[in-house]
Amino acid sequence: MTMFLTFTSFLAVFMASLAIADEWSLKRPEPNLAFIEHQSLKIGIDQSMGGSITHLSWAPTSKNVINSYDPGRLIQQSYYAGKRLNRQEEGQHKAWSPWTWNPIQGGGVQSWSRLTFFRKDERRRVLYTETIPKLWDMPNEEAQALMKQWTSFETGMSGVVVVKCELRCQRKIGDPWGSACPNHQELPATYFTRNFDTFKTYQGAGQWKTVTQEIGPPWGQTQSPRKAMACFNENNQGVAIFSPNSIFWNFGPCGPREPSSPTAASCVHLAPVGILSLGEQSTVSYRCWLVVGTQEEITQRLDELWKRYRAEKILITDQ
């Protein structure tokens, strides 16, 4: 039942996002981008979108491959905790009721999250952000939480971005959502442009397995023994997510293949999913890696990452 409820939650967030622009007339903020570059690889965060990752490009693609249609897309932190509550009398949208405590880095159904601190370390090529996330189910409610994020490049490797994510829960003890209970979590949530619609899981030893899914949602689900999954375009250029603590993956395309632009409603989705129990005062941190290139290049880079980080664990502490 937990998996069903959680998968339904992931699905509902996406379906809700498709209607945001029309139902709520949510205005895209003026871009406030910051970038770091290593060789041909360029990654950027948007300070007006909660510090979420909104740009990823590399030679020979040169084009941004991240979908940022609305606050539910992007590459971003998103967590679920506690019981599902009906808060419609407080303004909760009926389409997302009942709902768990669900802080999202990009924003909620009617607003973008608030960045409170940003620093770019030019020498070390690190983008650091602190964000007050929004609760997804409410029109404009900030979560009692703080998200931190460090975006940089993997040492000694080309074509690899490392992202350290941290959530500090600051809920009141005994609040209506209640104490910690197991929930599936996206580690992290990622959305790419619609043309990256060939999905493959990495099996190790240079072997890939192609998996298919009809246009959705609903998303497909699959597993990857090497904790990595990739999506490729027609030119064999791809982006893989390596998430050592994933137990399965949600994936699939949505909408027509054209237009394949960062602001189109059509997209593809990848989400490594794990299980976390987050209490009122939990702090959780984990790392994931974005790997770009041809299938051959990604294979070599994933093999090296597996050697370095296959034993890495999520850190959770409670006050």
Percent of the chain residues topping a pLDDT of 70 = 92
- Round to whole Å and give the CA distance between 285 and 166: 4
Q: Categorize the per-residue pLDDT at 144 as very low, low, confident or very high, splitting at 50, 70 and 90.
A: very high
Helices (H) and strands (E) in the chain, counts: 2, 23
Q: Categorize the per-residue pLDDT at 25 as very low, low, confident or very high, splitting at 50, 70 and 90.
A: low
Q: Categorize the per-residue pLDDT at 4 as very low, low, confident or very high, splitting at 50, 70 and 90.
A: very low
Check residues 109 and 211 and name the one with the higher pLDDT.
Answer: 211
| Closest to 317 measured CA to CA, from 271, 284, 276, 273 | 284
Residues forming a β-bridge with 231: 199, 239
Q: What is the mean pLDDT of the chain?
A: 93
3-state secondary structure (DSSP) of residue 308: helix
pLDDT digit string, tens, across residues 80-130: 999 999 999 999 988 889 999 999 999 998 899 999 999 999 999 999 999
Query: pLDDT value at position 12?
Result: 57
pLDDT higher than threshold 70 for residue 23: no
- Residue 24 — φ and ψ, nearest 5°? -105, -5
Q: Categorize the per-residue pLDDT at 17 as very low, low, confident or very high, splitting at 50, 70 and 90.
A: low
Check residues 18 and 188 and name the one with the higher pLDDT.
Answer: 188
Q: Categorize the per-residue pLDDT at 242 as very low, low, confident or very high, splitting at 50, 70 and 90.
A: very high
| Closest to 46 measured CA to CA, from 26, 28, 19, 24 | 28
pLDDT higher than threshold 60 for residue 312: yes
**Tell me, which fold does domain 2-318 have in CATH?**
Beta-galactosidase; Chain A, domain 5 (2.70.98)
- Round to whole Å and give the CA distance between 193 and 173: 41
Q: Checking phi first, is residue 10 left (phi over 0); if not, alpha (psi -120 to 50) or beta?
A: alpha
Query: pLDDT value at position 28?
Result: 87
pLDDT higher than threshold 60 for residue 22: no
Locate 223 and state its tokens: 């597993």
Query: pLDDT value at position 186?
Result: 98
Check residues 13 and 269 and name the one with the higher pLDDT.
Answer: 269
Q: Categorize the per-residue pLDDT at 8 as very low, low, confident or very high, splitting at 50, 70 and 90.
A: low
pLDDT digit string, tens, across residues 171-199: 999 999 999 999 999 999 999 999 999 99
* Domain ranges within the chain, ordered by starting residue: 2-318
Percent of the chain residues topping a pLDDT of 90 = 87
Query: pLDDT value at position 21?
Result: 47
Q: Categorize the per-residue pLDDT at 59 as very low, low, confident or very high, splitting at 50, 70 and 90.
A: very high
- For residue 304, give the H/E element and its range: helix 295-309
Query: pLDDT value at position 175?
Result: 97
- Round to whole Å and give the CA distance between 278 and 272: 18
Distance (Å) of CA 254 to CA 18, 147, 170, 175, 279 = 10, 28, 35, 37, 33
Mean pLDDT, rounded, for 42-51: 98
Distance (Å) of CA 257 to CA 73, 232, 266 = 17, 13, 7
Q: What global pTM score does this model have? A: 0.94
> Which residue carries 């005062």 as its tokens?
281
pLDDT higher than threshold 90 for residue 168: yes
